[in-house]
A and B are shown apart, each in its own frame.
Chain A
Amino acid sequence: MNRIESTNDFVIRFANVNGSGSASANNLFAKAIFRLGIPVSPKNIFPSNIQGLATWYEVRVNDYGYLGRRGGVDFVVAVNNKTLWQDYDGLLPGGYFLYDSTKPLPDSFNRKDVITIGIPLTELCNKEFENPRLRQLLTNIIYVGALSSLFEMEFSILQESIEKQFKAKPKLAEPNIKALQLGFNYAEEHYKDVCGIRVRPSTKAHGQIMMDGNSATALGALYGGATVVGWYPITPSTSVIESFSKFATKYRKDVDGKIKAAIIQAEDELAAIGIVIGASWNGARAFTATSGPGLSLMNEFLGLAYFAEIPVVLVDVQRSGPSTGMPTRTQQSDMLSAAYASHGDTKNVLLIPCNPQECFQMTADAFDLADRLQTPIIVMSDLDLGMNDNMCPPLRWDDSREYDRGKVLTADQLEKLADKWGRYLDVDGDGICYRTYPGTHPTEGAYFTRGTSHDEYSAYTENSIVYEKNMHRLLLKWKTASKLLPGPRERNRDPDSKVGAIFYGTSSHSAYEALADLNKSGLPINSLRIRAFPFQADVEDFIDRHNLIFVIEQNRDGQMRTLLINELGTCTEKLVPIGNIDGMPITARYIKQEIKKVFQSRGILKTQAVKGGKK
């Protein structure tokens, strides 16, 4: 049997029971890898449940810095009896199966291509520790100790991590370190040199941070100057607001101890977005965070904000739908419903981050954009990005940056106006008009905001010509928007290649890995990572330069592909959809396999073919 041998490049999966305290042990392992300077990306695959159901934690370790899921599992730590067979059966040939050998494995576990590593976790733990609750937690720590022996990891890094974690309660660190030692010693004694996977200190992750996207989004809102929050709890967006609240309590304290933010937990998502609209209308920076079902509920109000031209910042942390779907699993399936949210002719600006750094940047930018464009800006995150720790460069803020509050008239400016002011009068020719906040001036600048059709001076009208003119001005504003949005990121692997790939958000990491692999095997595919909607000229240009383009995303119906076809009039045959909808982050191997299938079916197997072809 060929055992898997690899250094700093493997996939390990932990199979646990939800609510058993496994998360902190598994996180300890991932954090230790990160602190050894090795790029790592852990994915928490958890059920919609507080306690009792199966949960997995998959850690990708990769010295090249590929942060997406690779596909396949090299090593499994199987401590959930209910999924034991599934975890055993799913292991790659040559892989390793670590289990709690306090009870023997059933006879059916007889694969010849798998290395079995039995550690009597329960037995070791019960012998050493009395407290039943502690026992459960420490069982998990024991296997982390064993892993450090099997992978020849620096034991001290785990010990330091635990000491850091329990800095405030050093007494708790002690049994944890003892448990680590127990596992380490057992593996040293019984499984020396059994495992071909090695972890060696590296420098590739130096200077990086590991943060969940929702915390980064919350920081973006904090730095972007958000003061009013309307929200309703919904997985996986809840921690955006909880983090914002935590940061605001710490960094937004006024001299008297009161908080320079109003965080309103509303009765539902309709009220949540209403609060945002009311606050923005009145001159505060406001935002909400939600997920698919919440976005659906916010539709009516989004149309009002679009038509009455009120800034809105909305963070959509997407999850698997439709309906309640798989609420704790990831997807990119709100793209269409966000882009065209609401009835009538409505389009919304989307920003699409792919890592925490972009979550931070784009959320902060969203407030400037919302104020500048006076329209909803939707930040399209997802569960994978929002709730998992993602490695990325550290967050940075330019202290010289000023908030762009857009076209807002002050009392002084109102008095100095030569011509009559109109709330919906486009004097600059960019489709964006000037607004006023309530209470600005005793006699000037008051207007009536409404979702019914209005003329340039915000008076009610049902005049068709006036209505049409207003709708066309909103399109002009849409064009202005595309110039202000973050542009796509292009990677030209071969200027002659006629094959391209388009992806966005969390699909990007696996896509980059897949394309790099294909490039190595002589199939150069250029790529474009879309970061915003409406699409810029660069997107159209990229599509024009290629004959065949894979659109890689995490939904069934190719929502980004539909958007591209609809907005740019792209020929449908040119855009080949690759979609993943298993609720787990898309893998590089899946993307590669799908691209190869298309190549095979079209007879493209060589570099020459990729470059040639008819336009």
Chain B
Amino acid sequence: MSSSRPGFRHPDLAPNEAGYTIKDYEGGASTLCAGCGHDSISRAIVQAFFESNVPPHQVAKISGIGCSSKTPAYFLGKSHGFNSVHGRMPSIATGANMANKDLVYLGVSGDGDTASIGAGQFIHVIRRNLNMIYIIMNNGCYGLTKGQDSATADKGSISRKGAPNLLESIDLCEIAIQMGASFVARGFSGDKQQLIPLIKAAIRHKGTAVIDVISPCVTFNNTPQSTKSYQWVREHSEATGTFDFIPLQQEIVASYNPGEIAAITLHDGSIIHLHKTAEDFDITNRRKSLDALEEAREKHHILTGAIYVKPDGQDTHDLLSISDRKLNSLDKEDLCPGNSVLQDINDQYR
């Protein structure tokens, strides 16, 4: 265990509007390497859920396999968690969401989990627009098996193994947009100021909210020549804009110059304010979002922040016309047509 947190907290910790203190959103001690980007993301998740006033037991956290997928043990300790099998988090999340549409589903995955073994599941959960938050802790390498390049490692990037990666990299944000994702963002584990509001917006978004978080692997992929290192990301990061998240019914107090602000209203009435850096960037325009990603790629920049948002989409339940009631709450009276109907059915087979 390399990272530990003191158990003591101030007795008068301020609760959030749901009546929970920050401690209620924390989890067990991390067993990841000291300085791992993933631990910063875990802390951002804790903060975002606390600030969003989501009761912890109303969250289901689901992951695949890998360093990233271990993290659900390190946050939201009062939530049910499911560390499933490699690359298959999206299908578990799909089933869970179908059973009870009223919980918040937080999927955590890594770049191996999402871009390689689970590429199919990643693509198809987006196509279903499952109402969930899909966080990828993206470090460009396989940590638990000691540093092999992953499919998001940039071409030419050099990890601790020393040889440059020769294969094309997969841009998960671009794929997500192409597959019809309704919320796509990129964060950096070293920039919590940007990441926390992104996660908060993702919580309120209805549909699949993909956040690809560049999260350096301090042990295997933090070399100066790695494009997933702390140094590289800090030097090459280019944000779509400063990002504010205004939860539902909260008064908008910020007074920015309206000409520079794009306001996007989410399904539940929450508002995203984006202080744009580029004049013509419109994050609700799929083509422009893809262009922005490609332009940044050409410049060897990493585009961060909210990249694409389609606020009024239909999720899986809407698309398949599934009952508004929680399917796991239905009993015999709701589900079983009874013997007399069965006798009528028999008659059709005579």
Measured CB to CB, the residues of A under 8 A from B are: 35, 209-211, 215, 219, 222-223, 225, 227-228, 230, 251-252, 254, 256-264, 266-268, 270-284, 286, 300-301, 304, 394-399, 401-403, 436-443, 446-452, 460
Contact = CB atoms under 8 A, between A and B. Distances in A.
Interface string B337-350: 11101110110011
B332 interface: yes
A452 B327 contact: no
A22 B140 CA distance: 58
A271 B94 contact: yes
Given A257-B321, A271-B88, A274-B95, A448 B60 contact: no
Nearest to A397: B339
B254 interface: no
Contact of B98 (A262, A397, A438): A262
Given A227-B99, A275-B98, A278-B62, A402 B332 contact: yes
Contacts of A284: 95, 98-100, 327-328
A282 B73 contact: no
- Considering residues B322, B324, B343, B349, which has the most beta carbons from chain A within 10 angstroms of its beta carbon? B349
A349 B275 CA distance: 58
Interface string B200-224: 0000000000000000000000000
12 contacts: A210-B349, A223-B342, A225-B331, A262-B98, A278-B93, A279-B95, A279-B99, A280-B95, A281-B92, A301-B88, A304-B84, A448-B80
Contact of B327 (A227, A256, A304, A450): A227
A401 B335 CA distance: 13
A277 to B, nearest CB: 6
B131 interface: no
Interface stretch (B120-128, B228-236, B294-302): B120-128
A270 B321 contact: no
B330 interface: yes
B99 A278 contact: yes
A353 B111 CA distance: 44
Nearest to B336: A223
Contact of A283 (B55, B99, B124, B341): B99
B100 A228 contact: no
B64 to A, nearest CB: 10
A440 B57 contact: yes
Interface in B86-105: 88, 90-100, 102-103
B84 A274 contact: yes
A446 B84 contact: no
B98 A279 contact: yes
Contacts of A441: 57
Given A260-B323, A275-B94, A284-B100, A439 B60 contact: yes
A267 B100 contact: no
A403 B99 contact: no
A254 B323 contact: yes
B94 A274 contact: yes
A209 B121 CA distance: 42
B342 A448 contact: no
A251 B337 contact: yes
B110 interface: no
B315 to A, nearest CB: 12
B339 A260 contact: no
A227 B91 contact: no
Contacts of B79: 438, 446
B167 interface: no
Nearest to B77: A446
A258 B85 contact: no
- Considering residues A219, A263, A281, which has the most beta carbons from chain B within 10 angstroms of its beta carbon? A281
Nearest to A216: B349
- Considering residues A283, A439, A441, which has the most beta carbons from chain B within 10 angstroms of its beta carbon? A439
A219 B342 contact: yes
B251 interface: no
B96 A278 contact: yes
Contact of B99 (A225, A228, A273): A228
A441 B57 CA distance: 7
B256 to A, nearest CB: 38
A256 B324 contact: yes
Contacts of A228: 95, 98-99, 327
- Considering residues B79, B92, B100, B321, which has the most beta carbons from chain A within 10 angstroms of its beta carbon? B92
Q: Nearest 3 A-B pairs (CB), nearest first?
A: A278-B95, A274-B91, A284-B99
B330 A227 contact: yes
Interface string B243-274: 00000000000000000000000000000000
Contacts of B88: 270-271, 274, 301
Nearest to B82: A449
Interface string B288-323: 000000000000000000000000000011001111
